[in-house]
Amino acid sequence: MPELPEVETVMRGLTPRLEGRILAHVEARRPDLRWPLPDGFAGRLMGRRVIGLRRRAKYILVDLDDGTCWMIHLGMSGRMLLSNDGDPAFQKHDHVVLRTDEGWWLRFNDARRFGMMDLWPTADVENHRLLSGIGPEPLGNAFSASALETALEGRQTTIKAALLDQRVVAGIGNIYACEALHRSGIAPKRLALNVRGARAEALVSAIGAVLTDAIAAGGSSLRDHRQTSGELGYFQHAFGVYDREGQSCPKEGCQGTVQRIVQTGRSTFYCPSCQR
Ligand SMILES: [Zn+2]
């Protein structure tokens, strides 16, 4: 499933082709993704100029010149494919396709159809039902050690489970939760309410560092994620623990071996030697 760095990478890949452009042709090739597309979806996008693109949590927000925000979630397998070598041969699972006034085609391809799209007033988009409860952006100013401590106060769950809760922090999934806990030396089974002080500081800075590194590498490409160019991301080659069960811990001076456990139904990879 694309996490924050992958969505950021896709958003950055789309920006040069969409920003300032007019959506000259828009076609919804089925009425629904995970949920039905909004009424008149293609017609409401057609002819609109794109003011800009941004990301909130794992949503791509495309602001249009009529005050509408086009919200996009890639779900488990959604891909945004750009091409400009003539009319594309549409592939199976190309559910929404559009052409800009510059002649670039964008195809939203989503085999598993857990993605979603909606149109919402830009001025009110933070209050959309899917965005209103989401916590601070991990790379934004509002995310600090004290904000994290407050969000974890009284939480009897593990820190790993708490990091996956989008109300605590936006956009972190299984991969980057494991990586950030490893970098900060915090055991995934530690109770969330006990991550305070220096540990909270270390975790906040590890989350920022791991996400920044992953964005710089173009995201990870496990399973179905692709950049908009169709190239693979490279961050999976830099994983410290994720998907590395039985291998030695890469942390300098640590003799530990990466282990895998299951927490709340998801695999957690960690090093029992250096994560406390
Ligand atoms: Zn270790």
Question: Quick check: is 102 catalytic?
Answer: no
Q: Which residues have their alpha-adjacent CB atom under 5 A from ion ligand 1?
A: 249, 251, 254, 256, 271, 273-274
Amino acid (one-letter) located at 170 = A
pLDDT at site 217: 81
Residues in the chain: 276
Q: All domains of the chain, ordered by start, with CATH?
A: 4-127 (3.20.190.10), 145-270 (1.10.8.50)
By CB atoms closer than 10 A (0-12, 13-18, 19+), residue 123 is exposed
Give the dihedral sign, CA 37/39/44/50.
negative
Identify the three-state secondary structure at position 97: strand
- Residue numbers of the chain with a pLDDT score lower than 70: 219-237
* Separation of CA 243 and ligand 1 centre (Å): 15
CA distance 78 to 65: 25
265 Cβ contact partners less than 8 Å away, ≥ 6 residues apart: none
Q: Is 7 helix (H, G, I), strand (E, B) or coil?
A: helix
Active site residue 38: no
Rounded distance between C-alpha atoms, residue 141 and residue 17, angstroms: 29
Note the pLDDT of residue 160: 98
* CA 205–ligand 1 middle distance (angstroms): 18
Q: pLDDT (tens digit, 9 = 90+) per residue, 210-257?
A: 999 988 887 665 444 455 655 555 566 678 999 999 999 999 999 999
Q: Ligand 1 centre and the CA of 5: distance in Å?
A: 24
Selecting among 12, 251, 266, 272, the annotated active-site residue is 266
Quote the ligand 1 centre to 3 CA distance (angstroms): 24
Q: How far is the CA of 251 from the centre of ligand 1 (A)?
A: 5
Catalytic residue among 2, 5, 136, 138: 2
The residue to which tokens 């009425």 are assigned: 31
In angstroms, how far is CA 216 from the centroid of its own chain? Answer: 14
- The tokens for 110 are 């989503």
**pTM higher than 0.75, yes or no?**
yes
List beta partners, residue 54: 61
In the annotation, is 58 catalytic? yes
Report residue 100: phi and psi, to 5°.
-90, 170
CA of 178 to the centre of ligand 1 (A): 13
Q: Which residues of 31-58 are buried (b: 16+ CB within 10 A; e: fewer)?
A: eebeeebeeebbebbeebbbbebebbbb
Catalytic residue among 17, 58, 99, 183: 58
- Distance (Å, rounded) from C-alpha 276 to C-alpha 133? 30
Asked about 107 being catalytic, the answer comes back as no
- The pLDDT value given to residue 6: 87
Q: What angle do CA 230, 235, 237 make, to 5 degrees?
A: 110
User: How many angstroms separate the alpha carbon of residue 276 from the centre of ligand 1?
Assistant: 10
